[in-house]
Amino acid sequence: MKSFLLPLLFFILLLSGCSKEVSQQGSMAPTATLKIKFEHQFKGQPLELNTNYQNDFGEAFSIGRFKYYISNIVLYRGSNASVLPETYFLIDENDTASKTLRIPIAAGNYDQMHLLLGVDSARNVSGAQTGALDPLNDMFWTWNTGYIMVKLEGSSPLSTQPNNRIQYHIGGFSGAYSALRQMETGFPSSVEVKSGQTLTVTFNADLQRWFNGVHDLPIAGQTVAMTPGPLSARYADNAVSMFSVKDARVQ
């Protein structure tokens, strides 16, 4: 019996090495699913594009486009990390399907999840990419190469740009002004996910905090952010402060 099981296990391991998708989960076959949902809001209400809003500085504006990268998802059981397949997700307010991520995971107990808001530094410099990281998604700076981690565009009467545009392209992956931000969320209690079940984690992202989640960045001060640097890093702080876990449940 044993002499049959062992090779089988090896075989599965090898198989995972070939597809690369599951290799990082070690020998734990992914029989359950992690579903991450992002709900974008403004002041607690579902976000509407091209709708007039007012931020906490009383400044009028509207949002036309909101996109960001999520990567490096890790589930924890105590201090045991379960690194999920190396996958990059581009979440786009304009594309409903993009706001729900589905990732195969091993069954087990989990009490924490870490995500990266952005694309890790290694991937910024490893050459031509495809899928969510394809430069045709307009999330890549070509002259100072690297991914735009978060993009918020819209308009405001306070802007003197053409069409009253406001444009915040937040990025930079190295040094003091890196815009990469880690999100670490503990679940209210350890959740048990059995084989065949789905763990659904729902995040709220409230764009009210874009302008003052951590740093005060009124529109009157800047209508455009387009390069890695200190300003971009401050927007990144505000951006990550927009996210909070609404709930985590197993079905």
Partner 1 sequence: MRWRCTISTLVFCVAAASMLINACNKKDVEKGTTSVSFEVPAGFPQPVYDFSKNPLTREGIALGRQLFYDGILSKDGQTPCASCHQQFAAFATFDHDLSHGVDNGFTTRNAQALSNLAWQQSFHHDGGILNLETQPLAPLTAANEMGETVAGVVAKLKGSGKYQQAFRDAFGEGEITSQKMLKALTQFMVTLVSANSKYDQVKRGTTSFTIAEQAGYATFKAKCASCHQEPLFTDGSFRNNGIGINPFLNDGGRIRITRNAADSLKFQVPSLRNVDLSFPYMHDGRFYTLQQVLTHYRTGIQQTPNLDPALQFGISLSNTEASNVLAFLKTLTDSAFVKDPRFAAP
- Which residues contact partner 1 by CB under 8 A? 2-3, 6-7, 10-11, 14-15, 17-18, 124-130, 134-136, 140, 142-146, 175, 177, 227-230
Task: Report d(CA 46, CA 112) in Å as an integer.
Answer: 26
Task: Report d(CA 47, CA 157) in Å as an integer.
Answer: 20
Rounded to a whole number, what is the distance in angstroms from the first to the last CA of the chain?
34
Task: Report d(CA 156, CA 170) in Å as an integer.
Answer: 19
Which residue, 48 or 120, is less far from partner 1 as judged by CB?
A: 120
> What phi and psi values does residue 27 have, to the nearest 5 degrees?
-85, -5
Which residue, 97 or 128, is less far from partner 1 as judged by CB?
A: 128
CB of 15 to partner 1, least distance (A): 7
Q: Which residue reads 């959740």 in tokens?
A: 191
CB of 141 to partner 1, least distance (A): 9
CB of 119 to partner 1, least distance (A): 13
Task: Report d(CA 25, CA 17) in Å as an integer.
Answer: 10
Which residue, 131 or 157, is less far from partner 1 as judged by CB?
A: 131
Which residue, 41 or 129, is less far from partner 1 as judged by CB?
A: 129
Which residue, 110 or 168, is less far from partner 1 as judged by CB?
A: 168
Residues in the chain, how many?
251
| Burial per residue of 196-232, b for 16 or more beta-carbon CB atoms within 10 angstroms, e otherwise | ebebbbbbbbbbbbbbebeeebebeeebebeebeebb
CB of 14 to partner 1, least distance (A): 5
CB of 27 to partner 1, least distance (A): 14
